Amino acid sequence: EIVLTQSPGTLSLSPGERATLSCRASQSVSSTYLAWYQQKAGQAPRLLIYGASSRATGIPDRFSGSGSGTDFTLTISRLEPEDFAVYYCQQYGSSPQTFGQGTKVEIK
């Protein structure tokens, strides 16, 4: 099973700042099969990025994904108030598909 480790656990930033979230895999993941989700309290997750770098429908261009192999990054270029949430990465190339433990982006 591929273990995904996200860092940091919590990111404290102010609106307008840049957020950089990391997702490291225990084994190589094809970049075709890496996704990022946003989850707000009491809500279902929302798909942001698939295929490591492709934005899902309706996702603003301040969200971008990059990386390959075992290291992947989600970048939010300028934090908006609605971006403070928990973010998860997921690999869906190997069985079982797995999720990271999440990074919380909180208001500083």
Partner 1 sequence: EVQLLESGGGLVQPGGSLRLSCAASGFTLSSQAMSWVRQAPGKGLEWVSGIGGSGGNTYHADSVKGRFTISRDNSKNTLYLQMNSLRAEDTAVYYCAKPMSYYGSGKGCFEYWGQGTLVTVSS
Residues at the contact surface with partner 1, assessed by CB under 8 A: 33, 35, 37, 44-47, 50, 56-57, 88, 90, 92-102
Kindly tell me which of 16 and 54 has the beta carbon lying closer to partner 1.
54
Instruction: Provide, rounded to whole angstroms, the least separation between the CB of residue 92 and partner 1.
Output: 4
The first and second tokens of residue 47, run together, are 């798909």
Alpha-helical runs (H) found in the chain: none
Kindly tell me which of 9 and 14 has the beta carbon lying closer to partner 1.
9
Residue partners of 2: CB distance under 8 A and separation at least 6 = 25, 26, 27, 29, 91, 94, 98
Closest CA to 23 of 48, 56, 52, 43: 52
Instruction: Provide, rounded to whole angstroms, the least separation between the CB of residue 16 and partner 1.
Output: 28
Instruction: Provide, rounded to whole angstroms, the least separation between the CB of residue 87 and partner 1.
Output: 11
Instruction: Provide, rounded to whole angstroms, the least separation between the CB of residue 67 and partner 1.
Output: 15
Kindly tell me which of 17 and 33 has the beta carbon lying closer to partner 1.
33
Kindly tell me which of 14 and 41 has the beta carbon lying closer to partner 1.
41
d(CA 31, CA 92): 10
End-to-end alpha carbon distance in the chain: 35
